[in-house]
Each structure stands twice: as structure tokens, then as C-alpha cells.
Structure 1
Amino acid sequence: MLERKKLKSRTQVTFVLPEDTPDGPVSVVGDFNQWDPAAHPLQSRGDGTRAVSVSLPARSAHSFRYLAADDHWFDDDHADSHDGTNNRIHT
């Protein structure tokens, strides 16, 4: 799930997943963090979900995917679109 909060010239995007699906650590990786799995790991929110927030420029589009343990890449069903390989989010 994607949550958005409009700021002045930016959009705060929060990437949200269930706490245990998939098991183990998960990071959101994308063109906004040079596809670095260490940049944005999801953290438990205490409500049965885990999440991480990223501030992105307003009126922009970005590619992203999730990376879990054992090199398991997966998509977000709530992405704005897909470009064939990656999810896309439009701020």
C-alpha cells in the first residue's frame, strides 16, 4: 500500500506492507535511492504493518520495487503503474 502526504514542493510517500508478508527484512529500492537496499528498510509500526517514508519531488514519477531476504524481489499491487519490470509511482 502507498500513502501520500503533500508537502510544499515535495510528496512524502510511505510504503506499507503487512508485518509478516514476506517473512524477514524488506527494503524499498528505486531510482530515488539508486536501488540501494540499505537506504530504506521497512520498520514495524506496531499496528501489524511495517513501513518506510521517502520524500520525493512533487509532480515527478519514480520506479521502485521491494527487496526481501534471499534476493526476493516483488511488486506493490497498489502502484500507480508498471513499466514492464518495475512499479511506478507518480507524485
Structure 2
Amino acid sequence: MLERRHRKNATEVTFVLPEGTPPGPVSVVGTFNGWQPGAHVLEPRDDGTRAVTVALPTKGTHTFRYLAAGDYWFNDEGADGHDGQNCRLST
């Protein structure tokens, strides 16, 4: 799930997943972090989910995927669309 908060010069996008699904650490990787695993790791929240917030430039399009333990790549059903195997996100 994606949560968006528009700011003056950026859009804060929070990437949210249920805690423990999939098990182990999960990071969001994409064009905004050079596809670097571990750059944005989802952390537990009080409501039982885990999340990470990334500030992205407004009026842009970004691609991303999640990477879980065991080299397990997966997509977000709440993405704006897909670019091949990757999710697409517009800010």
C-alpha cells in the first residue's frame, strides 16, 4: 500500500506492508535510490504494519519493487501501474 503526502517541494511516499508478510527484512528499491537494496528498509509501526517514507520530487514518475530476504522480489498492488516487471509511481 502507498500513502502520499504532498509537500511544497516534494511528495512524501510511505511504502506500507503487513508486518511479517513476507517474513524477514524488506526494502523498497527503485529509480529514486539507484536500485540499492537496504537503502530504504521498512520498519515496524505501532499499528502492526511496517513502512518507510521517501521524499520524492513532485511531478515525476518513478519505478520500484520490494526486495525481501532470500532475493524475493515483489510488487505493490497499490502502484499506479507497471513498467515491465516494475511498479510505476507518479508524484
- TM-score normalised to structure 1 length: 0.98
Cα-Cα RMSD: 0.5
Partner Cα separation in structure 1 for residue 63 and residue 26 of structure 2 = 17
Q: 5+ residue gaps in structure 1?
A: none
1:41 to 2:41 alignment? yes
The residue that corresponds to 2:2 in the other structure is 2
TM-aligned CA deviation for residue 46 of structure 1: 1.8
CA displacement at 1:9 relative to structure 2 = 1.5
Paired position in structure 2 for 1:89: 89
Aligned positions of 1:1-91 closer than 5 A: 1-91=1-91
State the 1:85 CA deviation. Answer: 1.2
C-alpha displacement at 1:84, in angstroms?
Answer: 1.3
1:54-77 CA deviation, whole Å, 9 max, x = no partner? Answer: 000001000000000000000000
Local SS of the residue matching 2:70: helix
Aligned length: 91
Could you tell me the TM-score, scaled by structure 2's length? 0.98
Structure 2 unaligned runs (5+)? none
- Percent of aligned pairs with the same amino acid: 64
| Secondary structure, counterpart of 2:13 in structure 1 | strand
AA of the residue aligned to 1:65? R
